[in-house]
Structure 1
């Protein structure tokens, strides 16, 4: 395998996708969803600004009590982006599936794959190039969404600060990981199925399982196996007692374990948890260790799923009987 041939296949795949009608439809849907999320985030941001202005106004009446004054903090612009990306990922998995469900099965049906293999290119170079081209397309889509959303904010005279920039880029990065996860699932099913229709149907079924069925089932089974929440009355209402604190700590420890298992098994729950934790981390005052303890399962899910399904696609394609 040579990198040059991999990039050649990737460029061809990228060009074919970008010039096709499906890319225009997917990009339009992504932009429509992103603009709706941005508009919703702008409305929430403006309400927070009004609340911030009211809190500042009340400070004028408290100058005689300087020891009790706490300056309110201005709402960050990155909250608009967190709202936008949360809306985007609601349907982004299905759009990512649309990018990859026929990358291999479609070429098998049109018999163009057999013609491609007649050229001086190896199978591993083809599958790696196709995967790289699809990921590049998703990078283009996420980057385009980010630029257009930023332009819309500038129209509303909302300018992100340098402190907001790294969080905005983090939102874009984890959203891209989420899209790559479902793209890898679609690519793997495209190599496993003989027909594109079957690959699309199975990919949608997997999307529903990972987004709804598995998190619902995992949460309910986990809560059923958990200990009961400690009763304050059993300790005479004394929540500071050593016995109550030990039980409540164990209870919330089990709940965190259930949430971690749910995030690990569901990319959708993982990305929701990750974006919310990133958004709340500045105001919560949590340490880096505490934050990592809350998001490790989300990071693992968004890393393991793409690796596993890309490995399935790679292995299956190398052993595929192409006639």
Structure 2
């Protein structure tokens, strides 16, 4: 992925790369900034990233087209408390031909993160460039940090660009002014998507450090994604049915605790955390992510929640995604710093 010749030349000639301050002082570019820039350039020239970018772009514009085609019926439904949030409807409205974009992103996000990180370290070692790279005047942690930061910069630019394109398309086609709360919810959705892809990126970097072959790390990452996406819910349902009694024979309070237990097990899956958080933010009328009693629903008024209240509901999910991302990257950092690098 990295051209050692170009990178070594950048380090050896780094006294020609300067940052000029307002006072006229000249500072040499740091090796870390050179590495991040080189990694970003490698991503932009990579066919792998171009294919994934095209795939995500096609799904985004397809979901946006379906939403725009059905936006009139969505905003005219008087029974829907979210009908006035036009730009949120662009991300959630569908006629069944194509899922909403946030649902598609829950499947495509892991592929994006895994593809950007499964060969970050082992490809360098297999090519014999890792030892030569470490011989350059730079810190070892700069290498793994630049790999992670450059990929996250690409992901962040991608998601922010898609959000701005969606807002711009909505302004041009509908002519309706976007509300500040909608802007907050859309960019909160972008941030959660950014963290979600960051978890899979940090996990793939960890697998790249753990396994020597790039094929092994890629297959392991895809296997973990498939297990969590397809089989994990089946395993949870089978285990709970085998260990716990039938909910039909339980008292109301026991049945409520039973459903809450299943929900807590399902939330060990990052995709479930992402789905819960994005659904709550993009649909302001969602008031709870757990089971509700009839007493709680009896006095509830069907109206959208303020952004602050929705954020408080999804804060445990966002904290879980952030904690999982930090844990995976911290473990990757620890293993790489203690790793013995040989030619």
Match of 1:12 among 34, 38, 41: 38
Residue 66 of structure 1: aligned partner: none
Residue 57 of structure 2: aligned partner: 31
C-alpha distance in structure 2 between counterparts of 1:292 and 1:73, whole Å? 20
C-alpha distance in structure 1 between counterparts of 2:332 and 2:316, whole Å? 24
Greater helix fraction, Structure 1 or Structure 2: 1
Residue 130 of structure 1: aligned partner: 147
Q: Which moved more, 1:185-194 or 1:144-153?
A: 144-153
Q: Does structure 2 conserve the Cα–Cα contact (< 8 Å) formed by 1:270 and 1:302?
A: yes
Residue 95 of structure 1: aligned partner: 112
Residue 222 of structure 2: aligned partner: 204
> What secondary structure sits across from 1:128 in the alignment?
helix
C-alpha distance in structure 2 between counterparts of 1:33 and 1:205, whole Å? 23
C-alpha distance in structure 2 between counterparts of 1:76 and 1:288, whole Å? 15
CA displacement at 1:188 relative to structure 2: 0.8
C-alpha distance in structure 2 between counterparts of 1:283 and 1:135, whole Å? 30
Question: What TM-score, normalized to structure 1?
Answer: 0.79
Residue 252 of structure 1: aligned partner: 256
CA displacement at 1:219 relative to structure 2: 3.7
Match of 1:279 among 277, 282, 292: 282
Q: Deviations along 1:72-116, whole A, 9 cap, x unmatched? A: 953532132243222222222112211111111111122222221
Q: Does structure 2 conserve the Cα–Cα contact (< 8 Å) formed by 1:175 and 1:271?
A: yes
Alignment coverage as a number of residue pairs = 289
> What secondary structure sits across from 1:31 in the alignment?
helix
Residue 200 of structure 2 is aligned to residue 182 of structure 1 = yes
Structure 2 unaligned spans of 5+: 1-28, 93-99, 288-302
> What secondary structure sits across from 2:212 in the alignment?
coil
Question: What TM-score, normalized to structure 2?
Answer: 0.74
Match of 1:171 among 185, 189, 199: 189
Match of 1:47 among 66, 70, 73: 73
CA displacement at 1:287 relative to structure 2: 8.8
Structure 1 unaligned spans of 5+: 56-70, 232-243
CA displacement at 1:181 relative to structure 2: 1.0
Q: Does structure 2 conserve the Cα–Cα contact (< 8 Å) formed by 1:211 and 1:267?
A: no
* C-alpha distance 72-182 of structure 1, shift in aligned 2 (>3 A): closer
Match of 1:81 among 91, 96, 101: 91
Match of 1:192 among 210, 217, 222: 210
Q: Which moved more, 1:297-306 or 1:171-180?
A: 297-306
Match of 2:125 among 108, 117, 142: 108
Q: Does structure 2 conserve the Cα–Cα contact (< 8 Å) formed by 1:48 and 1:75?
A: no
* C-alpha distance 214-230 of structure 1, shift in aligned 2 (>3 A): closer
C-alpha distance in structure 1 between counterparts of 2:114 and 2:237, whole Å? 26
Match of 1:310 among 314, 320, 329: 329
> What secondary structure sits across from 1:51 in the alignment?
coil
C-alpha distance in structure 2 between counterparts of 1:299 and 1:224, whole Å? 31
* C-alpha distance 183-5 of structure 1, shift in aligned 2 (>3 A): same
Q: Does structure 1 conserve the Cα–Cα contact (< 8 Å) formed by 2:273 and 2:321?
A: yes
C-alpha distance in structure 2 between counterparts of 1:43 and 1:252, whole Å? 40
CA displacement at 1:175 relative to structure 2: 0.9
Over aligned residues, Cα RMSD in angstroms? 2.9
C-alpha distance in structure 1 between counterparts of 2:261 and 2:30, whole Å? 45
Which structure has more RCO (C-alpha within 8 Å, separation ≥ 6)? 1
